[in-house]
Structure 1
Amino acid sequence: MASRAANRGALHEGFLRHNGFRWLKIASVLCITALAAYLLVDAEPRPNGGTAVGYALGTIGALLILWLTMLGLRKRVISRGRYSLKAWTSAHVYLGLSLITIVTLHTGFQLGWNVHTLAYALMMIVVLSGIWGVIAYGTLPRTLSANRGEATQGQMLEGLRLLDRQLHDAAQPLLPRQSEMVRESLENCSVGGGLYARLTGRHRRCGNARALTAVKAELRAGRPDPGQRLSLIVSLLERKEAALGQARRHIRTRALLEVWLYIHVPATFALIAALTAHIVSVFYYW
């Protein structure tokens, strides 16, 4: 029984803690070794990309970058054990972070307006976007689950469609001007919207909010209310506002969970191109 419990614990262990932080320890040793090599070499000029230490660090950094890009291919293969996806992802994270130390030391802190610095800048963008990805996947799924409760995204959207049908039916006896207010909610209301709206959850021109404000104003002004329909419509609009808030929070969290990939992946391809140009230029002028 104890063995089974241990196996279940291993299966549910996060990739950051995988195997007792094995890859964090390996990455730490790699960084400490690189730093020691840089600091202990007594040479003038100080180690940079054109020295023996610089070439060694650059080679390690380039090989790491090429290996790290293989994670996308690795995800297509299902396996367990030493080379499981969890182990590979753990190595990807910690060895990716080690690039900050290794490649910075490789540059010898000599940066300028050239392809070498471009490769370094792209690498930092890839690493930093990867850090955001780790944070997002560590925190946002819980937020996503707490917001949606028992409802799926499809159920949330179906609930909004049901409220729209109820609003449409309730608005039939209203005066034309009042019906236009309800139509604002039915025709000028979106859940997702553009990138800004999805990432912030802000819909400043939301038709439902405007319709709710207008209908409430009608009630306060004592306008004609056939069959007490305005009160019912206010209730429906408020329910729709709450449902919209839940759906938009869901879309926003999903967008925050995925947006880093729109930076990380293209920047990775750009990094490979810049790295290739960097290596070619180094050997060309060697």
Structure 2
Amino acid sequence: MAFDSANQKRRQQAAHISFLKHANFKWAKFALVISVLAAAGYFLHDPLPRPNGGTILGYTLGTIGALLILWLTMLGIRKRRIAPGNWSLKGWTSAHVYLGLSLIVIGTLHTGFQFGWNIHTLAYGAMIVVILSGLVGIWFYAVIPEKMGRNRDELTREQMVAEINAFDRQLTQQAQPLPPAISDLVKQSVQKTKVAGGVLSRLAKRAPTDATDKALEKLRRMHPNIDGPDRQVVDQLIATLERKQTALGRARRHVRYKTMLELWLYVHVPITFLLLAALTAHIVSVFFYW
């Protein structure tokens, strides 16, 4: 029992380690080694001039770079499989990040710093853009999922929507005995509630004022002038609207975080396909004119 408990504790600790720190930066060290070896081979090359893509070293670096690019594109397929150990999804993602960064060194040295308006430079430029967008993705996936977890407080998206709907039913019931000037405000809040709108509104850090905000603001202004039993009901209405406002804020933040991750994929994935197309054209042209 003690042995099982210790193993479970180690697994839990490993699960909380960032993919960037996986296996004590194993893939970062590996990527650094191959980058240093590539740089050493290039700058220690003798005789001068330095090699370019058409030399033996250039072809070697180009082959390594092309194989790395093809392997890096397999992450999407890998996400659909479950495997433990060094080739767990976390380990694979860590390798994806650091080996991807090593391509900056390998790819640049492969070009021999010779650029022009041709398919070869297009392939190199697409590779750099993919890597830069990948750096943005590193930040997104290192920060946003944690924010999403804290924000949703163990609630699923469906539960968030159900919570808002429950508040709407409660508001409708509470507002029934009140005069139209008040019940109409509540009705607007119920009927015009929007968790998400267009892309820009989803990404906005501060959600635009909606019917719930307006109803709450007006009820607070009206509150001092309400007497009798209606005042107690309005107190309940304000409290319910405040809870609904909090639930709406949580749901909208969840949508914003999710939209940020989706938009990143809409940029990163198409550029990756452009890179594969340009890389194919680059390889075909090299062997065609060889």
Aligned length, in residue pairs: 285
2:230 corresponds, among 219, 227, 230, to: 227
One-letter amino acid of the counterpart of residue 227, structure 1: D
- Hey, what does 2:172 align to over in structure 1? 168
- Hey, what does 1:72 align to over in structure 2? 76
Contact 1:58 1:106 in 2 (8 A): yes
Query: What does residue range 102-113 of structure 1 map to in structure 2 within 5 Å?
Result: 102-113=106-117
Q: Does 1:253 align with 2:253?
A: no
- Hey, what does 1:155 align to over in structure 2? 159
Q: Give, in angstroms, the shift of residue 161 of structure 1.
A: 0.8
- Hey, what does 2:140 align to over in structure 1? 136
CA RMSD of aligned residues (A): 3.0
Query: What does residue range 170-249 of structure 1 map to in structure 2 within 5 Å?
Result: 170-219=174-223, 222=225, 227-228=230-231, 229-249=233-253
Q: Give, in angstroms, the shift of residue 42 of structure 1.
A: 4.5
Q: In the aligned structure 2, how far is the partner of 1:235 from the partner of 1:5?
A: 47
Q: In the aligned structure 2, how far is the partner of 1:47 from the partner of 1:204?
A: 58
What are structure 2's unaligned runs of at least 5 residues?
none
- Which stretch shifts more, 145-154 or 267-276? 145-154
Q: Give, in angstroms, the shift of residue 272 of structure 1.
A: 0.8
What are structure 1's unaligned runs of at least 5 residues?
none
Contact 1:174 1:225 in 2 (8 A): no
Pair 55,161 (structure 1): closer, same or farther in 2 beyond 3 Å? same
TM-score where L is the length of structure 1: 0.83
One-letter amino acid of the counterpart of residue 143, structure 1: K
Q: Does 1:284 align with 2:285?
A: no
Contact 1:49 1:108 in 2 (8 A): yes
One-letter amino acid of the counterpart of residue 105, structure 1: L
Q: In the aligned structure 2, how far is the partner of 1:74 from the partner of 1:141?
A: 19
Pair 281,226 (structure 1): closer, same or farther in 2 beyond 3 Å? farther
Query: What does residue range 11-160 of structure 1 map to in structure 2 within 5 Å?
Result: 12-13=13-14, 14=17, 15-42=19-46, 45-81=49-85, 83-160=87-164
One-letter amino acid of the counterpart of residue 147, structure 2: T
Pair 185,60 (structure 1): closer, same or farther in 2 beyond 3 Å? same
Could you tell me the percent identity over the aligned residues?
Answer: 52
Contact 1:144 1:253 in 2 (8 A): yes
- Hey, what does 2:270 align to over in structure 1? 266
Q: Give, in angstroms, the shift of residue 205 of structure 1.
A: 4.3
Pair 45,190 (structure 1): closer, same or farther in 2 beyond 3 Å? farther
Q: Give, in angstroms, the shift of residue 160 of structure 1.
A: 1.0
Pair 65,171 (structure 1): closer, same or farther in 2 beyond 3 Å? same
